[in-house]
């Protein structure tokens, strides 16, 4: 009888502990309200007092060090921040414009940028090796102007890049691949346009989004639409018009992917509406509006934090705003303000932190010839799943 009572008491205690843990996890799980009020860390200056700066890019390496690059007067500058320390003194690492960073799955940091050589702009790549940047490698090799690269990491150290190029006499999109030994590239036959964005599904399918003009009877020059294509087994699909609003200008597309293989896109409609859509192949539901800015919205960036949360960040000229929601949501929460200084903001960049979470960088102009690079971080509010073993005797 005593043994039965002790067993019953142990069962009651374990059940109480289980219920308490479940309640704790329920309180800490992200909700829509959390997404609206999640705090961003106070902005940190990467560098201040520049005469000019554009196109910042951020990345983390496996040691938790944050890396930043930006363009100043057609030169690429670079700084790092070791956790708990101040940002390092910037140093020039290359001549060029519009740098972008990526860390491959082996932890190595790469940068791509455009630079003029022998009268023509080409896309170049450099790699950080034991604290030293390699010499630039030309990865485009075209007769036309190549500009605005973007880059993502695949498996086994593979990199995928895309850029816009006018070799045929009009803007078209090129895609390049680094296989660990050399770069190769090709133009995408059905991808005329500008501003490419790349994504990669878990099964290795490469996604590409861009903007291009679609002429109409009343507007022969056409308005910009957002297009999407994917490469499966080496073949690119015919483009899908994702934005599909004939009377509205759709520009500035950005792309991320989730573990279910879906592509998630954001862009700006009519200079004010931040838009969102998701899909794959020919399946794309009607896009939804994340928010409509009072005057202007520019340069949206979208990032998937695991498969549970999407973050969209953009600037409105005098403030930086963000909205976070689960993937495929049709109703985005009210945006939060990351920063609203007495300054002009532009050129948003985003990257995942070393332990999830999100880091955002931007250019901030207080007055002429007083330009700074800033960053802020959003600590992950995604709770890890915890299992409590229940042992009965």
**Average pLDDT over every residue of 317-325:** 96
Q: Give Cα separations from 264 to 44, 156, 302, 330, 351 (angstroms).
A: 29, 24, 8, 12, 16
Question: Which CA distances in Å does 29 have to 22, 24, 33, 132, 305?
Answer: 10, 9, 11, 42, 14
Question: Is residue 324 in some structural domain?
Answer: yes
Task: Tell me if 360 is assigned to some domain.
Answer: yes
Number of domains in the chain: 1
Residue 334 has pLDDT above 90, yes or no: yes
How far apart are the C-alpha atoms of 47 and 45, rounded to whole Å?
Answer: 5
Give the pLDDT confidence of 284-306 residue by residue, as tens digits: 999 999 999 999 999 999 999 98
- Residue 174 forms part of a structural domain: yes
What confidence tier does 96 reach under pLDDT thresholds 50, 70, 90? very high
Give the CATH number, domain containing residue 367. 2.120.10.10
Instruction: Determine, yes or no, domain membership for 386.
Output: no
Q: Quote the CA–CA distance of 348 and 360 in Å, as a whole number.
A: 7
Looking at the domain assignment, is residue 298 inside a domain? yes
Q: What is the DSSP letter of 271?
A: T
Note whether residue 363 is domain-resident: yes
Judged against a pLDDT cut of 70, whether residue 339 lies above it is answered with yes
CB 79 within 8 A of CB 47: yes
- Measured in whole angstroms, how far is the alpha carbon of residue 362 from the centre of its chain? 13
**What range defines the domain where residue 169 resides?**
41-378
Can you read off the two tokens belonging to residue 111? 């940068």
Mean pLDDT of the chain: 88
End-to-end CA distance of the chain: 15
Q: pLDDT tens digit string along 9-28?
A: 443 433 443 433 333 333 33
- The pTM of this model reads 0.87
CB neighbours of residue 383 within 10 Å: 14
In-domain check, residue 146? yes
384 in a structural domain: no
């Amino acid at each position: 009888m005593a043994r039965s009572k002790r067993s019953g008491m142990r069962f009651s205690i374990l059940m109480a502990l289980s219920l308490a843990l479940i309640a704790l996890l329920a309180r800490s799980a992200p909700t829509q309200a959390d997404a609206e009020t999640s705090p961003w860390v106070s902005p940190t200056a990467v560098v201040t007092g520049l005469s000019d700066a554009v196109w910042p890019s951020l990345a983390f390496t496996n040691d938790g060090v944050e890396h930043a690059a930006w363009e100043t007067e057609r030169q690429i500058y670079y700084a790092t921040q070791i956790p708990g320390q101040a940002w390092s003194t910037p140093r020039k690492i290359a001549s060029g414009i519009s740098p972008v960073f990526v860390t491959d799955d082996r932890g190595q940091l790469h940068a791509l940028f455009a630079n003029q050589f022998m009268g023509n702009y080409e896309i170049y790549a450099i790699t950080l090796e034991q604290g030293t940047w390699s010499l630039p490698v030309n990865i485009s090799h075209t007769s036309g102007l190549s500009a605005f690269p973007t880059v993502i990491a695949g498996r086994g150290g593979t990199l995928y890049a895309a850029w816009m190029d006018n070799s045929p006499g009009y803007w078209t999109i090129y895609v390049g691949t680094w296989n660990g030994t050399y770069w190769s590239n090709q133009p995408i036959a059905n991808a005329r346009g500008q501003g490419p964005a790349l994504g990669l599904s878990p099964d290795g399918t490469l996604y590409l989004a861009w903007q291009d003009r679609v002429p109409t009877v009343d507007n022969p020059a056409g308005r910009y639409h957002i297009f999407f294509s994917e490469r499966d087994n080496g073949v690119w699909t015919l483009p899908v018009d994702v934005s599909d609003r004939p009377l509205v200008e759709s520009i500035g597309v950005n792309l991320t992917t989730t573990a279910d293989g879906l592509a998630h896109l954001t862009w700006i409609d009519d200079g004010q509406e931040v838009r969102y859509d998701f899909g794959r192949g020919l399946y794309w539901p009607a896009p939804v509006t994340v928010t409509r800015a009072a005057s202007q919205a520019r340069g949206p960036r979208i990032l998937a934090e695991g498969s549970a949360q999407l973050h969209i960040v953009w600037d409105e000229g005098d403030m930086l705003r963000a909205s976070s929601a689960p993937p495929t949501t049709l109703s985005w929460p009210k945006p939060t303000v990351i920063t609203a200084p007495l300054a002009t903001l532009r050129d948003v960049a985003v990257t995942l932190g070393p332990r999830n979470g999100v880091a955002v960088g931007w250019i901030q102009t207080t007055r002429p010839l007083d330009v700074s690079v800033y960053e802020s971080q959003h600590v992950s509010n995604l709770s890890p799943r915890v299992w409590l073993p229940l042992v009965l005797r």
